[in-house]
Structure formats: structure tokens, C-alpha cells
Amino acid sequence: MRRCLDERQQRFLALADKVLPAFTERAALHDRENTFPFDNYGDLRDAGLLRLTVPEELGGLGAGQEEMLLVLERLASADGATALSYAMHVAPLGSWALTWRRTGAPPLAQVLQLAGQDRLVLAAIASEMGTSNLFVDAKTTATRVEGGYRITGRKNFGTNSAVASMWATTARYDDPDNGPRLLILLADPSAPGVSIEQTWDTLGMRATQSNDVVFDGMFVPEHGVVQSIPVGHFDAQVLETIICWTAPSFGAVYTGIAAGALEWTLGQIRRKGLENDPRIQDAVADVEIMLEVNRSVLERHAAEVSSHRLIDQLTVQEGLSRCAFVKNVCTNNAAAIMTRLLDVVGGAAYMRGQPFERMWRDVQAGLVMPINNRTGKELIGASSLGIAVAPVAAPQMPGTPPAGVEGRTR
């Protein structure tokens, strides 16, 4: 279905359209060879898209969340793995930009200015086996030393770690005075005590190269700690600056992959002259409806985040539930779309030489990414019934990240 977009949205999508031909051409090779798309990042930089969500007055393009989601969907229609990696950079910048507009915090301005000069690439390296990805605890540990902390542990699903010059990560610190705390840290990936283990050999999203990250006594200075939360607690700042942005960005990426699969399928239908087949029309209608549901959900979420209503009018747990709803509606629908399109595509869907097969594999990753269906339903069900899943951390002054190191793309 044709979309109704304003002039500003069309301008941002035109930037994405500049890189789509190259992304489409390279996607199969990076998937097959299990390699990171460094060349795509060069294209993103040249198109100005690494500065997408940085405020204009700090050198960026000034896109808000809704516009970011549109761009992510469009990029994912060509290459889901690149779009997912890129989301780990552009979403944090968007959340920091929104916070900077409210607070004017100089450290945030410094980071955003670096990004506005294409000198910073971000990655969120927080996932661990056996943790919920709701930022309530970590197995990675922090040990207090003079001037900061030593970080030891292993993270998995290190998406964008291959290219990022600043990592946001988490560690548990057993504070002798205040009890166990979850620290949210910003780290330099080139620091001593950091290594990436090549563990990424997966069904789909292969080009993200989301390898394991190992911290072996990596030093993080005191100013690198941007948040300290009691272990086992939900936190309003984490909701606002992390989950409110990552959850819809995941939803947009998988929506985009499904939209790309539909476009490819429509081409096959026209090539075979099957446009008038009522069974084909029925399948296409089902897919269009699911895509429009996803887009409506994402648009509403972006409006609630940008207006601050999601934070002001809901409890932290209700806000988390809202984010889980958005992500899971989008990823579940994307997987359902691929299955429905199988009825149209037939045996070509099984052929490695066709993009549909890669898209089908990539979409499956959305079902296991945070916030997954099981955790999401627990949050939604408990919130509806008025049951607190976890206590909420007491409010504190927002932490702000220090200046980062210059970005690298190789």
C-alpha cells in the first residue's frame, strides 16, 4: 500500500534510497561469507545517515524517533543485518538528543557533536546468557579500584561491536554500603582488557557479526558510569533512554525485512502474470494489513515517546509493557508475513540464490531479541492485573556520558 508521508519524512527516506542499491547488491555476499558490511557504513556516512538523529544545531540531521523508524524500515528492506547494526548506533543517539534538548547537559552535547562530525559510532553491548535484557542485573562484574572500576565478564550478541568506537555495557557492582548495583557504563573498545571472540555462526542476521565480547579487567573511569541502579529494580531512566528507543527500532527493522520480501514477491507475481489470481490477492492483502498494523503501532509509540507521555502518564512497568507490545507485535507479524508469502512464492522461497530465503532466516532473529514474547507477555499480563513484577528504583539525577573516542569503520 502507498504511504502518506509529509515532505520532511520523504527527504529522510530519499537519503536512505541513495544507499539501497548498494545494500541490496552486497547483502547476499556478506550473508554467505559471514562478514560485517564495513562498506555499507561508508555509504551511510557519505549519505549523512550516521548523523541522522543528532540535533541539527550539533551537526546532525535532526530526525526524531518516527523519522528514524521510517529510515530503519527502508534500509532493512534491502539489508536487514546492516539496518539492525545501524539501529544500535542511531537509536542511542536519538535518545540522548531528546534528553539533551530537555536538560542541555554539556557532556551529552559533546558526544552528540562528535557524532555530528562523523567521529563516533555506538554499540550497546549488554546481552548475557541467562539474563532478561531488562537492565535489572548482570553476570559481568565491576570491582572498585582507584579512579574507577575493573570490568570482568562476557557479553553475547555484540551487534555493531565490529565498527563501534564507544560501547554502552553493564556490570554488577557489590557496593559495600548500598548493596548490589547494576552499573551502566560507557567503554572504549580499544582499551586493554577487551577482546572480541568470533562466535557468530547463526541461522540469520549473519552480517551483523554479533560476536561475544570478553572483558578481562577492563578499566572504566569513574566518569564512565552513567547510571547505577539497585539490582532487581526497574528504572525510569533506563526505560526512557534505552528501552523506549531500542524496542521500536527492532520492530522497524523486522517490519522492513518483511516489506522487502513483499516487494520482491510482487515482482515475481507480475513476472508470472498472476495479478488476477484471487488467492494471490488474498495473500497480498493479509501481508499488507500486517505491515500497516506494524506501522501504526510504531507511529503511535514514537508519538508517545516524543511527547513524553509514555514516561509521564505510565508507571515504569507499564512503560516496559508498552515497549514489549510494540516490539513483539512487529516481530511476530514479520514472521507471519514471511510464512504467508510462502504460499505465493512456493519453491523459490527455498532457494539459496533468491533473497527471500535470506530474508526468511533474518526475520527469525526478531523472535528471540529483547523483549521476547515470554517476557513481554509476563509484563503485559502482570501490569494489566496490577501486579508489580519488580520494585522501581528511586529517581536520581540523570547520568550523562563522557566524550567518546573517534569512530572507526574498519
Task: Please write the tens of the pLDDT for every residue from 257-268.
Answer: 999 999 999 999
Q: Across residues 348-359, what is the average pLDDT? A: 94
pLDDT at 396: 65
pLDDT at 394: 87
Identify the band that residue 409 occupies on the pLDDT scale cut at 50, 70 and 90: very low
Residues comprising the chain, all counted: 410
Q: Across residues 305-319, what is the average pLDDT? A: 97
3-class secondary structure, 152: strand
Please give the distance of CA 122 from its chain centroid, rounded to a whole number. Answer: 11
Average pLDDT of the residues of the chain: 95
pLDDT at 132: 84
Give 182's strand partners: 172, 229
Long-range contacts of 208-212, Cβ-Cβ distance < 8 Å, separation of 24 or more: 208/36, 208/81, 208/84, 208/85, 208/159, 208/160, 209/34, 209/35, 209/36, 209/161, 209/162, 210/156, 210/157, 210/158, 210/159, 210/161, 211/158, 211/161, 211/162, 212/154, 212/155, 212/156, 212/158
Dihedral, 7, 122, 175, 400 alpha carbons, nearest 10: -50
Least confident of 58-67, 146-155, 238-247, 400-409: 400-409
297-333: buried (b, 16+ CB within 10 Å) or exposed (e) per residue?
bbeebbebbeeeebbeebebbbbbbbbbbbbbbbbbb
- Between 115 and 402, residue with greater pLDDT: 115
pLDDT at 405: 37
**Res. 398: pLDDT tops 50:** no
Q: Across residues 113-133, what is the average pLDDT? A: 94
Q: Across residues 370-382, what is the average pLDDT? A: 97
Q: Across residues 137-159, what is the average pLDDT? A: 98
**Res. 402: pLDDT tops 80:** no
Rounded Cα–Cα distance for residues 261 and 256 (Å):
9
Counting residues of the chain whose pLDDT is more than 90, the rounded percentage is: 92
pLDDT at 1: 86
- Between 398 and 333, residue with greater pLDDT: 333
Least confident of 102-116, 276-290, 396-410: 396-410
Q: Across residues 77-82, what is the average pLDDT? A: 98
Rounded Cα–Cα distance for residues 155 and 214 (Å):
6
| Amino acid at residue number 345 | V
Identify the band that residue 407 occupies on the pLDDT scale cut at 50, 70 and 90: very low
- The 8-class DSSP code of residue 367 comes to G
